């Protein structure tokens, strides 16, 4: 018969003031299975834990109930005490008589005491049905997959690889670098983006522990923490990277001109191209959509001029598999399309551009060699209006969140404009200036002083054309008047949105995303880089808008998490997961259907003892199961149970109140 | 005072007047990640609520099999509260969506069979909603108190 | 509706071609026009088969028996039966290739008094959704893909009537039902969808909790059972016909079905291939207003 | 020893019933959901003593209830306290009316097992305190075959008071036991006139002959019983059980099936132990703790049912464990008739 020990904590005065603890002890002593019950001032203290250990040994206890604070607080502490006394730690139950009784019924000691007794009784009843559970060990493949080769992916990959853990870095486009490679200078220090990024890109390419797979995407991720198997599609580049020397003869001769994505379409690239001069790997790919050879079978110039003969028009997409143990998702962000702002004339007026277009223009390697010009006539603008919160904080037309970085980069743009066009003048329409960050407020302040930019607090209501100028009408809320600014160029600070393919990616990875498409972290405060799925981590803007320092910090945090995960040869896992009693499983596979983690697979067992005929049953993949219990509640045959929360345990609680 | 038609329609059988010192027992089945954490927050915030609720911790609202509710009402409980994460916040991605469907049907069925709809109640309480948890418990307790002791289909050895 | 000859021909042909090992159909018992299921093991017995509007029992039930487990089976299904078959196929209980399904374009079956059964008057999908051939008044047609166009949904008048009653009167009505239940589990065993090796309502499975044969245990058993069938029940009413106490078990199922139909995108069990039932999927738009 | 017989008519019979209901606790068939069950009645109007046999639950539950409380216990650290259950509501002085003779006969069969080995005192007490007023049917039902079995159907001693339709509006009430005689003498039959000249014998005999001529089902019991005991391994069992859905209904409504199981229902420290019906057709019936199940398949369970009813019980107690009431056939969802089953198996040609 069960022999339960009950340990009731005073928690100093926290419990004892509102619950008559000795009375609780007297009451639980009446329960048949309770062989030992005692109260103590602080059960979680060393002497308190010692009492538990002694009692386990002296009274040959089969399970232990600690009536104290929330199990979310000290369950682990007491489990350890059980372990130390040679008892299986999962034979512990915690009765939460502090958060659930003494603290919330401070005016009624009698009721609080009675409730505490009931809670103890429930815990005792549950503990009787507790079973010994053992931590699950899962072998680990010590290789990480990083999805996305922007600054987040680069940083995570480098940090992991520096710990001598192999990394597979998958990048969608032909080169790593991401959005940061498009930036000219970075706030608040105005250091050159390329200068600080490209060395890291080169490091990635040359790192012995990093396998860089550019121009590719993840197709499928199967398995579970420590044991994932990823299918990666390498898109056909039509260039053999092994033989290509990156000389550039091909793209110089290519006759097809295509808008250049890297420069936001402000100039042209060829059909065979490297995205930008510092690209890593610095090998060209053929844009099959625009290549006349691949489309019509005519041309073939690049193959002719390529001395190493690296061009291969017959190349096909290739699917490769990698076994990995953890995933870092760093897919970055998209920019919001400002089309809904029709009253601004977006799309109609050529001289309205987005911030990233402006960024490319002022960049030394940009389409205009670092000089901002009006797209309409190529003239250098004198009066430039910057409008912030385009899409951000606008529930009606855009999204309700703040994109976080626009205040700062717009400030940077006023400085860059001032540097490039000395006689220019910036006007900034803003709602608030959000400059929380190290050196940010100072940066904004300095910019305002240095550039003499005019900051107008208010929304722009309309932009219309007057001659070759754009008239920007808006409200200056500070003086409470409508103002009109004559602008040569209007720059829209468009919002940061989640990558459009995030939902699809989330589905294939089996993780969740929020209503804006940003991937969801496991806990907003305490687990900001983990996802709910073990072994998958988030870095950078794919989780929420953030600036470069934050992105890099999160990427390094991911790396730390991955390294931590890979620290041992096996992973230890909480054993509170589902188990299938195959004898009763009828093989309907509804559990397979309901499991959010794909942790249930099917198995074949003989029909009866010694039978050759097989039937299908469910099987839990211990490594994947997170112990939610969805499968348990939908199992009509009662063939699945969730260790730690079995039907008998819960029913025992219900009937013992 | 005579009962209105509306009241008549929703009066349970047998309509027994509760003894003056009667207090209902509410069983609260809470998901570990949101509602249980929320109830802990209620405690740490020292927000007071009626002492009638007895809380059972489950990992997720999707772990709650409808027969727990039936069993509770048949044995010790006068009312049941099941609480989980808000839609979209499920720690296990989709558990509460499955649970929500079952709860709706279970609640309707129990009501169809004679249980007042307030006997079984559901709430979404996040880990941050300590005050909401206190409010929810107060409401459920008050509702059940109004209904009086539950006698329908109780087990014979039920006594408390 | 009399397809006796066609079914005999089909069964004989199937046996002759070696396509099936056993054929599940109906035979008459020789009195009261009563029909019972029969399992035919060879063409010689085919002349025992009949099919008229008195062929009531849902034969899909026999697919869960050990008699048919290892065999290739021919069976007769009506509209509702085929929906339960659809669910069994989805839930992996039977293999389609082992079945030869003779569908009936059902016009409704009748009780002993010759009156059309209530579930037939309410029937939404009279045409079989799974079948190899379908017998229709116009002749035999190929069964797949079956045109499953649900007729307008009918609410059950019994359920509606009860719902309109005051709570206490409803309770009295149901108390008699649960009191009358003898927990023989005939309902569960005659249900085509109750194939679990261990059933939640078997007294053996939960001796500590609801093992007795009392009113309260019957309540527990029937409620739990009906919830396991919620979103799956195809309203064939095998359970009700099997009940030795004549209990109107359809009330529980219809109540659930109606709640599900109204709230979960007009879900009907077993109509769509691959649909596992309303509880095994969800929609973000499911009603949330009953939750605080 | 002979007891008195009274003659009356329908009105007199009803008056007799009314007198009974007023004198003591009376159980009678009450209709619910189209079926009849024996329930305590306060007036004769509530019940239908002539309920059709097919739709009527047997009287077994009045002696061997669906779920009987065996004991109540409270287990605390102070020890386990077992209390007898509250007074047995079925053990009070009572009468049952509207009983069919096969039902009453079923009790005689059950007596054997309840008086053997372990004496079930609860059952004895209920039996002792109950007056059975049973009527012999005028016509056999579709599935009745009580006359085919090996007992004297003409003998009405299974009842305390037997009612026989004497034709021409005459109804005979005859006391068959001392209990019955005492009751008749106690005043409930005050309005009836006794028969002393033996004139009831001829009409009762005629009624019996008409009754036994009305049977659709007839079998040669000796042959069936004899053959069955020899053909345990007959493959025919598999055929006859093929369309059984293993639903247990037959056993639950059978007047003679008496298998039970024990279960507890526990809340907090207090538990109640129940003894409830079980059925050998249930797949779990023979499941042992170690997981072995000697009767895992349907035909073996059916064989057990048929053999227990027609062979084993007979061997041990000298009685057939089937009274031929046909209730199981009617209740069966697929109308399997135990009559057909045993006949088909016993009379199937034996392969050499």
- Predicted local distance difference test score (pLDDT) of residue C149: 64
- The rounded mean pLDDT for chain A is 92
In Å, how far are A108, A215, A309, A575, D264 from A293, measured between CA atoms?
85, 20, 16, 58, 82
Burial class (CB in 10 A: 0-12, 13-18, 19+), A410: buried
Is C276's Cβ below 8 Å from some Cβ in B? no
- Predicted local distance difference test score (pLDDT) of residue A558: 95
Q: What is the dihedral of CA D169, D174, D179, D182, to 10 degrees?
A: 80
CB pair distance less than 8 Å for D274 and C211: yes
Provide the edge-to-edge strand list for the sheet that holds C73-77.
Answer: C35-40, C22-28, C73-77, C99-104, C133-136, C139-142
- Indicate which CATH number applies to the domain containing A97: 3.40.50
Min Cα distance B61 → chain C (Å) is: 13
Which residue in B46, B75, B92 is closest to A596 by CB distance?
B92
- Indicate which CATH number applies to the domain containing A326: 3.50.50.60
Which structure tokens are listed for C85? Answer: 């078959």
Please state the domain extents for chain C.
4-142, 157-280
Q: Which residues touch B45 (CB under 8 Å, ≥6 apart)?
A: B130, B131
Task: Return d(Cα D310, Cα D303) in angstroms, integer.
Answer: 10
Q: For residue D121, what pLDDT band results from cuts at 50, 70 and 90?
A: confident
pLDDT in tens, C98-115: 999 999 988 889 988 888
- Predicted local distance difference test score (pLDDT) of residue A96: 93
Shared-domain flag, residues A35 and A166: no
Shared-domain flag, residues A473 and A436: yes
Give the whole-number percent of chain B exceeding pLDDT 70: 89
Q: D316-334 burial, b for 16+ CB within 10 Å, e for fewer?
A: eeebbbbbbbbbbbbbbbb
Q: How many CA atoms lie within 13 A of D266 on its CB side?
A: 18
Shared-domain flag, residues A457 and A487: yes
| Span of A13-27, A515-529, C195-209 with lowest mean pLDDT | C195-209
Q: Is the Cα torsion angle A634, A640, A643, A646 positive or negative in sign?
A: positive
Contacts 24+ apart (CB under 8 A), B144-147: B144/B24, B144/B26, B144/B52, B144/B78, B144/B79, B144/B118, B144/B119, B145/B18, B145/B23, B145/B24, B146/B118, B147/B12, B147/B78, B147/B79, B147/B116, B147/B118, B147/B119
Is C196's Cβ below 8 Å from some Cβ in D? no
Shared-domain flag, residues A449 and A519: no
Q: For residue B160, what pLDDT band results from cuts at 50, 70 and 90?
A: very low
Is residue A338 within 8 Å of residue A391, measured between CB atoms? yes
Work out the average pLDDT over D302-322.
91
Is residue D140 within 8 Å of residue D216, measured between CB atoms? yes
3-class DSSP state of D268:
coil
Interface partners of chain D (CB pairs < 8 Å, 3 or more) are A, B, C
Give the whole-number percent of chain A exceeding pLDDT 70: 100
Q: Quick one: three-class SS letters along D130-160? A: EEEEEECCCCCCCCCCHHHCCCCCCCCCCCC
Work out the average pLDDT over C253-280.
90
β-strands A92-96, D5-8 pairing: unpaired
In Å, how far are B106, C111, C113 from C32, measured between CA atoms?
41, 11, 10
Q: For residue D1, what pLDDT band results from cuts at 50, 70 and 90?
A: low
Which residue in A31, A608, A657 is closest to D77 by CB distance?
A31
Burial class (CB in 10 A: 0-12, 13-18, 19+), A442: exposed
CB pair distance less than 8 Å for C230 and B122: no
Q: Is the pLDDT of residue C205 over 70?
A: no
Q: Is the pLDDT of residue A467 over 60?
A: yes
Which residues of chain D are at the A interface, by a Cβ-Cβ cutoff of 8 Å?
75-78, 80, 266-269, 291, 296
Is residue A76 within 8 Å of residue A46, measured between CB atoms? no
Q: Is the pLDDT of residue C66 over 80?
A: no
- Predicted local distance difference test score (pLDDT) of residue A237: 92
- Predicted local distance difference test score (pLDDT) of residue C101: 92
pLDDT in tens, A134-173: 988 888 999 999 999 999 999 999 999 999 999 999 999 9
Q: Is the pLDDT of residue A524 over 80?
A: no
Q: What is the dihedral of CA A542, A548, A554, A555, to 10 degrees?
A: 80
- Predicted local distance difference test score (pLDDT) of residue B122: 94
Work out how many domains chain B is built from and give that number: 1
- Predicted local distance difference test score (pLDDT) of residue D281: 87
Q: For residue B25, what pLDDT band results from cuts at 50, 70 and 90?
A: very high
pLDDT in tens, D201-259: 888 888 888 888 888 888 888 888 888 888 888 888 888 888 888 888 899 999 999 99
Burial class (CB in 10 A: 0-12, 13-18, 19+), D71: middle
Shared-domain flag, residues A628 and A642: yes
Shared-domain flag, residues A584 and A541: no
Q: Is the pLDDT of residue A195 over 80?
A: yes
- How many degrees, rounded to 5, is the angle at CA C223 between CA C219 and CA C225? 120
β-strands A326-329, A536-538 pairing: parallel
Domain boundary among A510, A540, A571: A571
- DSSP H or E stretch at residue D164: strand D161-167
- Predicted local distance difference test score (pLDDT) of residue B104: 94
Q: Quick one: three-class SS letters along B75-125? A: CCCCEEEEEECCCCCCCCCCHHHHHHHHHHHHHHHHHHCCCCHHHEEEEEC
Is residue A243 within 8 Å of residue A310, measured between CB atoms? yes
B-contacting residues of C 186-245, CB under 8 Å? 200, 209-210, 214-216, 219-220, 223-224, 226-227, 230-231
Length of chain B: 160
Question: Which 8-state DSSP code applies to residue C98?
Answer: G
Shared-domain flag, residues A262 and A216: no
Please name the residue of chain B whose CA is at the shortest distance from the CA of residue D270.
B157
Please name the residue of chain A whose CA is at the shortest distance from the CA of residue D265.
A655
Task: Return d(Cα B60, Cα D225) in angstroms, integer.
Answer: 60
Best probe of the D interface among C244, C246, C248, C251, by most D CBs < 10 A, is C244
Provide the domain limits for residue A160. Answer: 136-235+317-333+499-571
Residue numbers in B near A105 (CB within 8 A): 48-49, 51
Task: Return d(Cα A442, Cα A174) in angstroms, integer.
Answer: 38
pLDDT in tens, A81-103: 999 999 999 999 999 999 999 99
Is C38's Cβ below 8 Å from some Cβ in D? yes
Work out the average pLDDT over A600-616.
84
In a domain, B97, yes or no: yes
ipTM of the predicted structure? 0.90
Q: Which residues touch B154 (CB under 8 Å, ≥6 apart)?
A: B74, B75, C216
- Predicted local distance difference test score (pLDDT) of residue D350: 65
Which residue in C168, C174, C231 is closest to B12 by CB distance?
C168
Length of chain A: 657
CB pair distance less than 8 Å for C65 and D247: no
3-class DSSP state of C176:
helix
Work out the average pLDDT over A639-655.
91
In a domain, B124, yes or no: yes
Q: For residue A80, what pLDDT band results from cuts at 50, 70 and 90?
A: very high
Work out the average pLDDT over A632-648.
91
Question: Backbone phi, then psi, for A169, in 5-degree steps?
Answer: -110, 115
Shared-domain flag, residues A352 and A419: yes
Q: C210-224 burial, b for 16+ CB within 10 Å, e for fewer?
A: bbbbbbbbbbbbbbb
Which structure tokens are listed for C280? Answer: 């095994």
Q: Is the pLDDT of residue C94 over 50?
A: yes
Q: For residue B6, what pLDDT band results from cuts at 50, 70 and 90?
A: low
Task: Return d(Cα D338, Cα A521) in angstroms, integer.
Answer: 66
Q: Is the pLDDT of residue D308 over 60?
A: yes
Is residue A463 within 8 Å of residue A492, measured between CB atoms? no
DSSP bridge partners of D130: D94
Is residue C125 within 8 Å of residue C268, measured between CB atoms? yes
Instruction: Residue A52: name the closest of A42, A64, A41, A60 by CA.
Output: A64
Which structure tokens are listed for C28? Answer: 């008459």
Work out how many domains chain A is built from and give that number: 5
Q: Is the pLDDT of residue D103 over 60?
A: yes
Work out the average pLDDT over A570-577.
87
Min Cα distance B75 → chain D (Å) is: 7
Q: For residue C126, what pLDDT band results from cuts at 50, 70 and 90?
A: confident
Shared-domain flag, residues A566 and A609: no
Work out the average pLDDT over A507-525.
84
CB pair distance less than 8 Å for D32 and C176: yes
Q: Is the pLDDT of residue C148 over 70?
A: no
Give the whole-number percent of chain A exceeding pLDDT 90: 74
Provide the domain limits for residue B109. Answer: 24-154
Q: Is the pLDDT of residue A502 over 50?
A: yes
Shared-domain flag, residues A529 and A427: no
pLDDT in tens, C135-145: 988 888 887 66
Q: Is the Cα torsion angle A347, A353, A354, A360 positive or negative in sign?
A: positive
Length of chain C: 292
Q: Is the pLDDT of residue D346 over 90?
A: no
Is residue C192 within 8 Å of residue C88, measured between CB atoms? yes
pLDDT in tens, B53-88: 999 999 999 999 998 999 899 988 999 999 999 887
Highest mean pLDDT: which of A318-322, B86-90, D344-348? A318-322
Is residue D115 within 8 Å of residue D142, measured between CB atoms? no
Q: For residue C7, what pLDDT band results from cuts at 50, 70 and 90?
A: very high
Q: Is the pLDDT of residue B158 over 70?
A: no
- How many degrees, rounded to 5, is the angle at CA A571 between CA A565 and CA A574? 110
Task: Compare A513 and A37 and report the one with higher pLDDT.
Answer: A37
- The rounded mean pLDDT for chain D is 87
Report pTM: 0.81
- Predicted local distance difference test score (pLDDT) of residue B7: 53
| Span of A406-410, C279-283, D164-168 with lowest mean pLDDT | D164-168
- Predicted local distance difference test score (pLDDT) of residue C162: 92
Q: Is the pLDDT of residue C284 over 90?
A: no
pLDDT in tens, A331-363: 999 999 999 998 999 989 999 999 999 999 999
Task: Compare D87 and D238 and report the one with higher pLDDT.
Answer: D238
- Predicted local distance difference test score (pLDDT) of residue A364: 87
- Predicted local distance difference test score (pLDDT) of residue A292: 92
Shared-domain flag, residues A342 and A491: yes
Question: Which 8-state DSSP code applies to residue C93?
Answer: S
């Amino acid at each position: 018969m069960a022999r339960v020990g009950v340990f009731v904590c005073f928690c100093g005065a926290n419990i004892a003031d509102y619950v008559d603890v000795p009375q609780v002890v007297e009451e639980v002593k009446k329960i048949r299975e309770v062989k030992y019950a005692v109260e103590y001032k602080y059960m979680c203290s060393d002497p308190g834990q010692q009492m538990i250990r002694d009692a386990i040994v002296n009274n040959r206890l089969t399970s232990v109930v600690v009536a104290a604070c929330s199990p979310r607080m000290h369950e682990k502490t007491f489990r350890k005490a059980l372990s130390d006394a040679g008892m299986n730690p999962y034979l512990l139950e915690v009765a939460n008589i502090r958060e659930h009784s003494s603290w919330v019924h401070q005016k009624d000691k009698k009721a609080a005491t009675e409730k505490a007794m009931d809670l103890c009784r429930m815990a005792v009843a549950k503990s009787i049905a507790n079973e010994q559970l053992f931590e699950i060990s899962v072998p680990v493949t010590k290789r990480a997959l990083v999805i996305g080769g922007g600054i987040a992916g680069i940083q995570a990959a480098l940090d992991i690889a520096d710990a001598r853990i192999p990394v597979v870095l998958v990048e969608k486009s032909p080169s790593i670098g991401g959005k940061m490679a498009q930036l000219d200078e970075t706030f608040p220090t105005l250091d050159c983006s390329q200068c600080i990024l490209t060395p890291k890109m080169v490091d990635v390419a040359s790192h012995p522990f990093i396998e860089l797979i550019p121009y590719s995407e993840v197709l499928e991720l199967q398995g579970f923490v420590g044991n994932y198997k990823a299918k990666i599609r390498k898109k056909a580049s039509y260039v053999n990277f092994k033989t290509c020397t990156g000389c550039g003869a091909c793209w110089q001769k290519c006759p097809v001109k295509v808008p250049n994505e890297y420069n936001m379409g402000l100039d042209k690239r060829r059909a065979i191209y490297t995205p930008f001069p510092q690209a890593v790997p610095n090998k060209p790919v053929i844009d099959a959509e625009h290549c006349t050879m691949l489309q019509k079978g005519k041309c073939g110039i690049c193959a002719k001029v390529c001395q190493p003969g690296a061009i291969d028009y017959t190349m096909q997409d290739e699917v490769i598999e990698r076994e990995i143990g953890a995933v870092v998702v760093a897919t970055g962000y998209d920019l919001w399309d400002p089309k809904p702002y029709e009253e601004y004339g977006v799309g109609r007026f050529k001289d309205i551009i987005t911030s990233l277009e402006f960024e490319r223009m002022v960049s030394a390697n940009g389409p205009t060699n670092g000089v901002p010009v009006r797209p309409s006539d190529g003239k250098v603008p004198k009066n430039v209006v910057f409008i912030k919160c385009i899409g951000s904080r606008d529930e009606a037309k855009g999204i309700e969140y703040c994109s976080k970085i626009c205040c700062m980069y717009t400030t940077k743009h006023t400085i860059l404009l001032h540097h490039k066009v000395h006689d220019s003048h910036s006007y900034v329409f803003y709602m608030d200036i959000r400059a929380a960050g190290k050196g940010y407020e100072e940066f904004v302040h300095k910019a305002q002083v240095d550039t003499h930019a005019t900051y107008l607090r208010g929304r722009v209501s309309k932009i219309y054309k007057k001659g070759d100028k754009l008239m920007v009408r808006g409200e200056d809320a500070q003086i409470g008047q409508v103002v009109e600014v004559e602008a040569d160029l209007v720059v829209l600070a468009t919002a940061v949105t989640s990558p459009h393919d995030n939902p699809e990616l989330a589905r294939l990875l089996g993780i969740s995303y929020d209503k804006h498409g940003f991937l969801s972290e496991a806990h907003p405060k305490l687990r900001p880089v983990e996802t709910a799925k073990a072994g998958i981590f988030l870095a950078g803007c794919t989780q929420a808008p953030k600036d470069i320092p934050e992105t890099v910090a999160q990427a390094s945090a991911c790396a730390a998490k991955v390294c931590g995960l890979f620290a041992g040869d096996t992973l230890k896992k909480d054993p509170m997961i589902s188990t299938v009693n195959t004898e009763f499983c009828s093989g309907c596979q509804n559990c397979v259907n309901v499991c959010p983690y794909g942790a249930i697979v099917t198995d074949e067992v003989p029909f009866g003892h010694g039978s050759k005929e097989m039937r299908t049953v469910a099987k839990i993949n211990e490594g994947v199961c997170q112990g939610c219990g969805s499968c348990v509640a939908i199992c009509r045959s009662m063939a699945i149970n969730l260790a730690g929360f079995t039907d008998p345990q819960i029913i025992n609680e219900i009937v013992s109140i | 005072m005579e009962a209105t038609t509306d009241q008549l329609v929703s009066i349970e059988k047998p309509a027994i007047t509760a003894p003056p010192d009667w207090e209902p027992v509410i069983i609260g089945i809470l998901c570990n990640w949101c509602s249980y954490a929320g109830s802990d927050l209620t405690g740490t915030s020292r927000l007071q609520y009626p002492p009638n609720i007895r809380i059972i911790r489950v990992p997720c609202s999707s772990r709650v099999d409808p027969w727990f509710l039936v069993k509770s009402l048949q044995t010790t409980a006068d009312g049941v509260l099941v609480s989980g994460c808000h839609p979209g916040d499920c720690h296990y991605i989709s558990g509460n969506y499955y649970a929500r469907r079952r709860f709706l049907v279970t609640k309707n069925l129990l009501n169809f069979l004679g249980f007042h709809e307030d006997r079984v109640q559901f709430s979404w309480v996040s880990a941050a909603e300590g005050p909401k948890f206190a409010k929810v418990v107060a409401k459920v307790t008050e509702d059940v108190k109004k209904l009086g002791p539950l006698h329908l289909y109780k087990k014979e050895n039920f006594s408390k | 509706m009399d397809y006796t000859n066609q079914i005999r021909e089909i069964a004989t042909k199937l046996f002759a071609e070696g396509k099936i090992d056993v054929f599940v159909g109906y035979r008459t018992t020789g009195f009261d026009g009563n029909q019972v299921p029969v399992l035919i093991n060879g063409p010689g017995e085919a002349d025992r088969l009949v099919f008229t509007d008195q062929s009531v029992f849902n034969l899909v039930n026999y697919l869960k028996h050990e008699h048919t487990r290892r065999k290739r089976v021919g069976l007769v299904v009506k509209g509702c039966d085929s929906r339960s078959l659809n669910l069994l196929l989805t839930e992996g209980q039977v293999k389609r290739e082992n079945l030869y399904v003779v569908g009936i374009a059902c016009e409704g079956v009748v009780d002993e008094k010759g009156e059309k059964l209530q579930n037939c008057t309410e029937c939404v999908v009279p045409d079989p959704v799974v079948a190899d051939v379908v017998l229709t008044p116009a002749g035999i047609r190929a069964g797949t893909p079956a045109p499953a166009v649900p007729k307008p949904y009918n609410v059950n008048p019994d359920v509606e009537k009860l719902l309109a009653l005051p709570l206490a009167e409803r309770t009295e009505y149901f108390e008699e039902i649960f009191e009358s239940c003898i927990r023989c589990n005939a309902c569960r065993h005659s249900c085509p969808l109750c194939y679990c090796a261990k059933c939640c309502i078997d007294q053996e499975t939960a001796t500590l909790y609801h093992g007795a044969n009392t009113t309260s245990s019957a309540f527990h058993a029937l409620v739990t059972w009906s919830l396991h069938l919620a979103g799956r029940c195809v309203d064939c009413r095998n359970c009700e016909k099997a009940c030795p106490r004549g209990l109107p078990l359809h009330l529980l199922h219809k109540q659930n079905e109606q709640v599900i139909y109204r709230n979960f995108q007009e879900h009907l069990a077993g109509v769509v291939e691959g649909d596992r039932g309303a509880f095994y999927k969800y929609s973000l738009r499911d009603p949330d207003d009953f939750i605080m | 020893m002979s007891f008195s017989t009274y003659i009356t008519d329908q009105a007199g019979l009803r008056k007799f019933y009314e007198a009974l209901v007023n004198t003591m606790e009376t159980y009678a068939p009450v209709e619910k959901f189209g079926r009849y069950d024996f329930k305590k009645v306060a007036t004769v109007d509530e019940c239908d003593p002539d309920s059709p046999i097919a739709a009527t639950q047997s009287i077994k539950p009045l002696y061997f209830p669906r779920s009987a409380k065996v004991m109540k216990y409270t287990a605390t650290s102070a020890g386990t306290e077992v209390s007898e259950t509250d007074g047995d509501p079925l053990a009070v002085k009572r009468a049952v009316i509207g009983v069919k003779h096969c039902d009453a006969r079923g009790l005689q069969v059950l007596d054997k097992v309840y008086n053997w080995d372990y004496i079930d005192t609860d059952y004895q007490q209920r039996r002792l305190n109950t007056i059975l007023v049973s009527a012999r049917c005028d016509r056999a039902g579709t599935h009745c075959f009580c006359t085919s079995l090996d007992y004297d159907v003409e003998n009405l001693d299974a009842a305390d008071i037997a009612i026989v339709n004497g034709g021409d509006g005459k109804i005979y009430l005859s006391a068959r036991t001392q209990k019955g005689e005492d009751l008749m003498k106690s005043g409930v039959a005050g309005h009836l006139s006794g028969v002393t000249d033996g004139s009831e014998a001829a009409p009762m005999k005629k009624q019996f002959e008409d009754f036994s001529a009305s049977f659709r089902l007839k079998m040669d019991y000796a042959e069936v019983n004899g053959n069955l005991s020899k053909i345990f391994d007959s493959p025919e069992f598999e055929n006859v059980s093929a369309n059984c859905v293993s639903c247990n209904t037959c056993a639950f409504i059978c007047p003679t099936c008496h298998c039970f199981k024990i279960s507890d229902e526990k809340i907090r420290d207090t538990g109640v132990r129940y003894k409830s019906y079980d059925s050998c057709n249930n797949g779990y019936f023979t499941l042992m703790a170690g997981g072995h199940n000697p009767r895992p398949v349907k035909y073996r369970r059916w064989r057990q049912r048929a053999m227990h009813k027609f062979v084993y019980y007979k061997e041990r107690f000298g009685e057939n464990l089937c009274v031929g009431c046909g209730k199981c056939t009617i209740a069966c969802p697929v109308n399997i008739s135990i009559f057909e089953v045993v006949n088909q198996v016993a009379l199937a040609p034996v392969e050499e």
